[in-house]
Amino acid sequence: MSSKLKPCPKCGNRDIYFLRPTPFGTPAVWIATISCSCGITFNIHTKDKQEAISAWNKRS
């Protein structure tokens, strides 16, 4: 199983910033954030890193 992030769909940058799932609030809502320096920010509601990565990859 690949855990690699695809390049940014907008600018092609491969240096993607991945913020691992973090809980917010009570009850906790888990949010992973993947973003690029071109301004794209993608929030994924998941506790699972793999799921966050595949959500990003499907989007591009």
- How many residues sit in the footprint of Zn ion (CB under 5 A)? 6
Site string for Zn ion, 1-40 (x = CB under 5 A): -------x-xx-x----------------------x-x--
* Residues 8, 60 contacting (CB under 8 angstroms): yes
* Residues 16, 36 contacting (CB under 8 angstroms): yes
- Residue by residue, DSSP assigns 25-55 as TTTTEEEEEEE-TTS-EEEE--S-HHHHHHH
| Shortest CB 42 distance to Zn ion, Å | 11
Smaller CB distance to Zn ion: residue 11 or 29? 11
Q: Which residues bind Zn ion (CB under 5 A)?
A: 8, 10-11, 13, 36, 38
